[in-house]
């Protein structure tokens, strides 16, 4: 069993009981990413709080499988918990994907306010029905475009085969821009770029650079057309099997994931500079170019709402009301 530094120290000190409870945690980001680093802080914190009685065993870099499969295994109770993107969570709660609607929020502060003060009220019943417990929200970052050839305006996407997240919000926006979307899991995108299955890919700028998108698609267009929030979720079956004390340890440690807001937002600039120094071209859009992307929003949002189930419009109205309350 691989343990984090604190948990390992507790073992060495004889502090972990023979019958310590172990929970498996899955995450797609690699260990050397901001998400990986914060996940390990969470692992250490649980070990510290519990004195080693509760151990979180982390499987980073999709070691338990792609998150689109893992999130379903969490709901079924076969994997205990996960650090999940918006795309993955929306497979359990489709309306949650609306938070990644194109250009939905004015700025990061407004987004944080909505997440902190309104999301549990808006989606709590849906998470319960999906048989998962939400422990914390998680900053995922801004979605942009990695491509082999330069892209600046929607017209440049015409006829381009482009990997999109397997979610309506990303796929239908790219379709509205004139691209030919090919929905793929994150782990499938780089191989698809290498083989020519696609010539471009939407991806979070931080995650994309951390996992090598820029090496095969070195034109990085900062459309920032989505701001994604994910969630730290636990199987309801696992949660209900914990003692009150074990639940308290988990809930005390979980807010560590909110540190990702500063970490991701701080890392983006540094990683973009690093990518540029290694041969990538970072394309910052002029205001008039960005306006062309934003002009696609009304038609794209209508298509997104039509694609989702009948409750999507009501949920979207709740999100807009929360946004207004945070303005």
Q: Would you list the domain boundaries of the chain?
A: 5-325
- The number of residues in the chain equals 327
Query: In Å, how far are 65, 139, 212, 286 from 195, measured between CA atoms?
Result: 22, 31, 15, 32
SS (H, E, C) 88-108: HHHHHCHHHHHHHCCCCCCCH
Positive or negative CA dihedral for 157, 158, 161, 162?
Answer: positive
Query: 232 with 81: CB under 8 angstroms?
Result: yes
Give the alpha-carbon dihedral of 130, 311, 100, 207, to 10 degrees: 20
H or E stretch including 36? helix 34-50
The average pLDDT across 294-310 equals: 94
Largest pairwise CA distance in the chain: 63
Q: Please give the pLDDT value at position 309.
A: 79
Q: Which of 54, 55, 86 is nearest to 71 (CA)?
A: 86
d(CA 255, CA 232): 10
Of 2-16, 212-226, 283-297, the least confident: 2-16
DSSP output for 154-190: GGGGTT-EEEE-SSHHHHHHHHHTT-EEEE--HHHHH
Q: Please give the pLDDT value at position 130.
A: 97
Q: Please give the pLDDT value at position 187.
A: 86
154: CB partners within 8 A, 6+ apart: 177, 178, 292, 293, 296
Please state, as a whole number, how many other Cβ atoms lie within 10 Å of the Cβ of residue 307.
15
pLDDT at residue 97 is higher than 50: yes
The average pLDDT across 237-248 equals: 98
Q: Please give the pLDDT value at position 53.
A: 97
Percent of the chain at pLDDT > 70 equals 94
Q: Please give the pLDDT value at position 5.
A: 59
pLDDT at residue 14 is higher than 80: no
Q: Please give the pLDDT value at position 6.
A: 56
Q: Please give the pLDDT value at position 46.
A: 98
pLDDT digits (tens, 9 = 90+) for 109-146: 999 999 999 998 899 999 999 999 999 999 999 999 99
pLDDT digits (tens, 9 = 90+) for 173-221: 999 999 999 999 888 999 999 999 999 999 999 999 999 999 999 999 9
Query: 157 with 151: CB under 8 angstroms?
Result: yes
pLDDT at residue 84 is higher than 90: yes
The average pLDDT across 149-174 equals: 96
pLDDT at residue 68 is higher than 70: yes
Q: Please give the pLDDT value at position 311.
A: 87
pLDDT at residue 1 is higher than 50: no
Q: pLDDT band at residue 18, thresholds of 50, 70 and 90?
A: low
3.40.1780.10, 3.40.50.920, 1.10.1240.10, 3.40.190.170: which CATH number matches 5-325? Answer: 3.40.190.170
DSSP state of 251: H
d(CA 123, CA 94): 10
Q: Please give the pLDDT value at position 16.
A: 46
d(CA 275, CA 214): 7
Percent of the chain at pLDDT > 90 equals 87
* Mean model confidence pLDDT for the chain: 93
Q: pLDDT band at residue 19, thresholds of 50, 70 and 90?
A: confident
The average pLDDT across 145-155 equals: 98
The average pLDDT across 135-159 equals: 96
The average pLDDT across 241-254 equals: 98
Q: Strands 180-183, 219-235: parallel, antiparallel or unpaired by DSSP? A: unpaired
> What residues are paired with 58 via a beta bridge?
25
The average pLDDT across 217-226 equals: 98
Q: Please give the pLDDT value at position 76.
A: 97
DSSP state of 85: -
């Amino acid at each position: 069993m691989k343990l984090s530094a604190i948990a390992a120290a507790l073992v060495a000190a004889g502090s972990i009981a023979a019958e310590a409870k172990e929970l498996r945690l899955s995450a797609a980001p690699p260990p050397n990413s901001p998400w990986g680093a914060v996940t390990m802080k969470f692992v250490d914190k649980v070990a510290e709080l519990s004195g080693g009685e509760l151990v979180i065993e982390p499987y980073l870099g999709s070691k338990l499988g792609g998150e689109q499969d893992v999130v379903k295994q969490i709901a079924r109770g076969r994997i205990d918990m996960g650090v999940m993107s918006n795309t993955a969570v929306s497979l359990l709660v489709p309306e949650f994907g609306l938070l990644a609607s194109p250009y939905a929020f004015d700025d990061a502060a407004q987004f944080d306010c909505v997440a902190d003060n309104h999301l549990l009220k808006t989606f709590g019943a849906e998470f319960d029905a999906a048989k998962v417990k939400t422990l914390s929200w998680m900053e995922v970052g801004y979605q942009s475009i990695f491509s082999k050839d330069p892209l600046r305006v929607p017209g440049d996407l015409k006829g381009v085969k482009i990997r999109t997240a397997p979610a309506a919000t990303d796929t239908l926006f790219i379709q509205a821009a004139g691209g030919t979307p090919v929905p793929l899991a994150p782990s499938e995108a780089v191989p698809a770029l290498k083989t020519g299955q696609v010539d471009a890919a939407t991806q979070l700028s931080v995650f994309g650079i951390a996992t090598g998108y820029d090496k095969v698609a070195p034109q990085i267009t900062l459309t920032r057309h989505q701001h994604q929030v994910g969630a730290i979720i636990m199987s309801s079956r696992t949660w209900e099997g914990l003692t009150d004390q074990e639940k308290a340890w988990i809930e005390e440690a979980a807010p560590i994931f909110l540190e990702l807001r500063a970490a991701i937002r701080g890392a983006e600039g540094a990683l973009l500079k690093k990518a540029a120094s290694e041969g990538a071209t970072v394309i910052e859009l002029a205001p008039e170019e960005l306006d062309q992307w934003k002009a696609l929003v009304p038609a794209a949002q209508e298509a997104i709402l039509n694609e989702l189930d009948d409750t999507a419009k009501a949920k979207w109205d709740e999100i807009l009301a929360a946004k207004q309350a945070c303005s």
